[in-house]
Homo-oligomer: A and B are copies of this chain.
Amino acid sequence: MTPRIDFWFDFGSNYSYLSVMRLEQAASARGITVQWKPFLLGPVFQALGFTGAPFVVQPIKGAYVWQDMRRQCARFGLPAWQMPSRFPRGSTLPARVALLGAEQPWIGAFCRRVMTLNFVDDQEIDNPEAMGRVLLELGLPADELLSAAVSDANRPRLREQTAQAQALGIFGAPTFLVGDEMFWGNDRLEEALDWAAAPGAAA
């Protein structure tokens, strides 16, 4: 059986950005399959009683986080960090497209391009123009996919996936699940892969 990791993320989340850029290559090098699980952090934070994104609601923590992001981007060889002019950005449409593509070979490339738009190019991501361009660049039928993304069949799926995240006890992103074992944060990406390769080996 191929080891598998469930990867729960939000395109608006800066620490999800770090994992989206790194995960596919790291998992593939170890023969681990990634199950991409886009969801929306907004309703999750709301249910936890936050009035907004924690790094915005707690400016003292936010100030630290941007300092940390600068170092983490350097550490992982990502483009130099610059604070997005809007944070967090809405991420509903890209999440809906990612839900459609979760089992497709283009999912990893799509997610990395959306994250690059948000966190490197400082562009909005929650609109059909931006997402259409990303899909076309990947050689995909953009119009068809965008229609499917906002169709009556697909729209409820994002709500359901977000509800499933909450049911699983997910309280932030990125979150990795290997069976029932939860790993929270980009800092746990390597541990989660270790666990997927050899469950419980370290504990």
| A153 interface hit (Cβ, 8 Å) | no
Given the known inter-chain contacts A64-B184, A187-B187, please indicate yes or no for A58 contacting B203, CB distance below 8 A: no
Q: Please, how many residues of chain A have a CB less than 8 angstroms from a CB on the other chain?
A: 25
Tell me how far the C-beta of A57 lies from the nearest C-beta in chain B, rounded to whole angstroms: 9
Question: In chain B, what residue has the closest Cβ to A70?
Answer: B203
Whether the pair B48, A60 counts as a contact (CB closer than 8 A) is yes
Q: Which of B48, B58, B68, B184 contacts A68 (CB 8 A)?
A: B184
Chain A positions 131 through 172: 1 when the CB is less than 8 Å from some CB of chain B, otherwise 0:
000000000000000000000000000000000000001011
Residues of B within 8 A of A130 (CB): none
A202 touches B75 (CB 8 A): yes
Copies in the complex: 2
* Distance A169 CA – B59 CA, assembled complex (angstroms): 10
A181: chain B residues at CB < 8 Å are: 67
Q: Mark A177-199, 1 if CB is under 8 A from B, else 0.
A: 00001111101100100000000
Residues of B near A58 (CB, < 8 A) are 48, 171
- Residues of B within 8 Å of A169, CB to CB, are 60, 63-64
Interface membership of chain A positions 72-93, coded 1 if the CB is closer than 8 angstroms to chain B and 0 otherwise: 0011000000000000000000
What are some 26 contacts across the A-B interface (CB < 8 A)?
A48-B58, A48-B60, A58-B171, A60-B169, A61-B171, A61-B172, A63-B169, A64-B169, A64-B171, A64-B182, A64-B184, A67-B181, A68-B183, A68-B184, A68-B188, A70-B203, A71-B191, A71-B202, A71-B203, A74-B202, A74-B203, A75-B191, A75-B202, A75-B203, A185-B187, A187-B187
